[in-house]
Chains A and B, each alone.
Chain A
Amino acid sequence: MLKQTLAVTLMNLRAIPQRLGTSSVIVIGIAGVVAVLVSVLAMATGFHQTVANSGRDDRAIVLRGGSQAEVNSSIARDNLLTILDAPGVRKDAAGRPIGCGEIVTIVNLPKIDDGNLSNVTLRGSCGQLAALRPELKLIEGRLFEPAVRELIVGAGAAQQFRGVTLGSRISFRDSDWTVVGIFSSGGDAHDSELIADVDTVQSAFRRSLYQSVTALLDAPSSFAAFKDALTTNPTLTVDVKREPEYYAEQSKQLTKLLNFIAYFVGGIMAIGAMFGALNTMYSAVSSRAREIATLRAIGFGAVPVVISVFAEALLLALLGGALGAALAWLFFNGNAVSTLGANFSQVVFRLTVTPGIVVSGLWLALFIGLLGGLFPAVRAARLPVVDALRAQ
């Protein structure tokens, strides 16, 4: 049985080049599907990695109770001191708690590639910024000073937007700002932000409340005490989260959406490719009808014939899958893209084609090949030998 199957399958695979035209329908169709699936999944992965990279276990973010994100949170100025005085907050050399009350606001900047205005987060932070977020490193220039309209720009934002080089002046509605530094935060969400002094941002944008308070803790284990102190304090109504938890929640929606798009759009295209494969395999079987009938007349069973059809479909599908994944990797892997992030502003991240994604793509290709080969294989097995031998 194995002998027959192997012989019939090899014979058929060697004949594929003669059916190049119809065979390429499978390869190209599946390549398209897999390329789309792989690039959207790469987008989801890149986004997730960027956001999941943000945050440390020993840093906590405090938001108004019930608010999901910084944008719809507010914290009264008076509460800042209460929060930073809570147990577990780390102190600097001078004995001051390390933490900042922050606000975010959306500003518009032209993109480098097409000049279109795009949303960017301008974060108001405080003088403790360097201690609070040590991962945030200045590449060029210096930190902003309080009480003057100076800001620093994340490396991701500097790559994406026009006119944000060191020393340049940026105009927002009714305030002009000077870029005094470029920083990198190692590819996390802050990389796409502009950061300035919180009081200066509040006055420029006529705001008086904070939106969040971020505090550095003595240790990751200090979180429980910190959280308990705040949530049991009757003067506060706040939610306290570790940063990684907060960012994971922020990215969940978009990651979900991207995954949905990947599988939904990928699924629809896959159905199309499957019909293409079906068609190709039907025509392959009918062009082999005489050959199959002759084999059956000689005494070959249906199994080798069925397997030879599947082998052809799967081989072509795998070829298409590999081609699609390779194209997606070649063209998109490492490409920087930006999308609406947590605060409805741009988050810059890189498409990341992981081996896992490639494997998903190949599985999809095999699945399409299997379905596309199924009915033609059944037809091949049931081929009426006598009629096929009669047909000229």
Chain B
Amino acid sequence: MGNIVSLRKVAKRYTRGKEVVEVLHSLDLDIAEGDFVALMGPSGSGKTTLLNLIGGLDRPTEGEVIVAGEHIDRLSGAALARWRARHVGFVFQFYNLMPMLSAQGNVELPLLLTRLSAAQRRANALTALTIVGLADRARHKPSELSGGQQQRVAIARALVADPTLLVCDEPTGDLDRRTADEILGLLQVLNREHGKTVIMVTHDPKAAEYARRQLHMDKGALVDGQVS
């Protein structure tokens, strides 16, 4: 299978006043379609920055970012937003669900960006909730769900529009061990049975074991584990 993600000589610099901080240094990375990659490394090493580049939330200062066949570093803001809607499902550490919407409403959100009818949106959202095992909680507000359940809703939201890849930043960072294992198991099922490419940032070695491949970052560079 081909590469779904290709980074070529990617650098990311932030300018704070006169000071220029380089967060990523001339980084090369390929991720194959259908892979499950765990991106590890100490805090501040640039994991989130790298993930944001792959997910099309941010643009590199230098280099090329080719994801799902598109040079996303060259897309305009609006085109990039459309690209994200089509290709990326995000899972965040703190779930980032809309508190006013039910689980069902939250999962339907990405479908508002598609041409699906209301009935189709409802059906697809229910299917996604069924995959994460929360069909019976569809009417619940996020505040009525546990952390693990909220993260399941967030995963359902990430996969409902059938994206090319799932991008997860510390998805179990706020959960206890047992719940974390359930969530990681779910990601593994999505990768193995539904063929989703998953890229997950974590600093938990146990979490990383669920992945097919581990990458390690330190001070803005990948240090080993480049080849699986």
Q: Name A's B-contacting residues (CB within 8 A).
A: 3-4, 7, 11, 14-15, 290-291, 294-301, 385-386, 389-390, 392
Does B1 have its Cβ within 8 Å of any Cβ on chain A?
Answer: no
User: Inside 8 A of A295's CB, which chain B residues have their CB?
Assistant: 109
For A290, the chain B residues whose CB sits under 8 A away are 96
The residue of chain B having its C-beta at the shortest distance from the C-beta of A390 within the complex is B48
Shortest CB-to-CB span from B83 to chain A, Å, is: 8
**Complex Cα distance A126/B63, Å?**
101
11 further interface pairs, Cβ-Cβ under 8 Å (given A4-B113, A294-B90, A298-B110): A15-B99, A291-B98, A298-B84, A298-B157, A299-B84, A299-B86, A301-B81, A385-B57, A386-B57, A386-B58, A390-B48
Number of A-B residue pairs at CB separation under 8 A: 53
A4 to B56, CA, bound (A): 20
Whether B100 is near chain A, meaning CB under 8 Å from some CB there, is yes
Q: How many B residues touch the partner, as a band?
A: 20 to 34
- Complex: chain A residue closest to B58, CB-CB: A386
Determine the residue in chain A with the shortest Cβ distance to B84. Answer: A299
**Secondary structure of the A contact surface, majority rule:** helix
Q: How far, in angstroms, from A392 to B169 measured CA to CA in the complex? A: 14
Residue of B nearest to A6 (CB): B112
Nearest B-chain residue to A13, judged by Cβ: B100
Shortest Cβ gap from A290 to chain B (Å): 6
Residues in A neighbouring B113, C-beta threshold 8 A = 4, 298-300
**Residue among A299, A386, A390 making CB contact with B85, cutoff 8 Å:** A299
- The CA of A4 and the CA of B81, in the complex, are separated in Å by 13
Query: What are 5 A-B pairs with beta-carbon distances under 8 A?
Result: A300-B112, A300-B113, A301-B81, A386-B57, A389-B96
| Cβ contact of A4, chosen from B99, B112, B157, cutoff 8 A | B112
Query: B96 and A3: CB pair below 8 A?
Result: no
Q: Are B78 and A301 in contact (CB under 8 A)?
A: yes
Which 3 residue pairs spanning A and B have beta carbons closest together? A299-B85, A294-B96, A299-B84
Instruction: For the complex, give the distance between the alpha carbons of A295 and B81 in Å.
Output: 10
Which residues on B are within 8 Å of A, measured CB to CB?
A: 48, 52, 55, 57-58, 78, 81-82, 84-86, 90, 92, 94, 96, 98-101, 109-110, 112-113, 157
Contacts of A390 in B (CB 8 A): 48
Measured in the bound complex, the distance between the Cα atoms of B85 and A301 in whole Å is: 10
Structural contact, A299 and B81, CB atoms closer than 8 A? yes
- The listed residue with most B CB atoms (<10 A of its CB), out of A290, A298, A389, is A298
Contacts of A298 in B (CB 8 A): 84-85, 90, 109-110, 113, 157
Bound: A14/B57 CA distance, A: 28
- Nearest A residue to B80 via CB reads A299
Closest CB-CB distance, A381 to chain B, in whole Å? 10
A386 touches B52 (CB 8 A): yes
Count chain B CB atoms within 10 A of each CB in A4, A294, A392 and give the residue with the most. A294
Instruction: Determine which of A11, A300, A392 lies in contact with B81 in the assembled complex, contact meaning CB atoms within 8 Å.
Output: A300
- Chain A residues contacting B57 (CB-CB under 8 Å) are 297, 385-386, 389
How many angstroms from the CA of A299 to the CA of B92 in the assembled complex? 15
Chain A hits for B101, CB < 8 A: 11
Contacts of B109 in A (CB 8 A): 7, 295, 298
| A140, B4: Cα distance in complex, Å | 99
Q: Is the CB of B94 within 8 A of A392?
A: yes
In the complex the two chains form, is A296's CB within 8 Å of B96's CB?
no
A389/B100 contact (C-beta < 8 A), A298-B109, A299-B81, A300-B113 known: no
The answer to whether A11 touches B100, judged by C-beta atoms less than 8 angstroms apart, is: yes
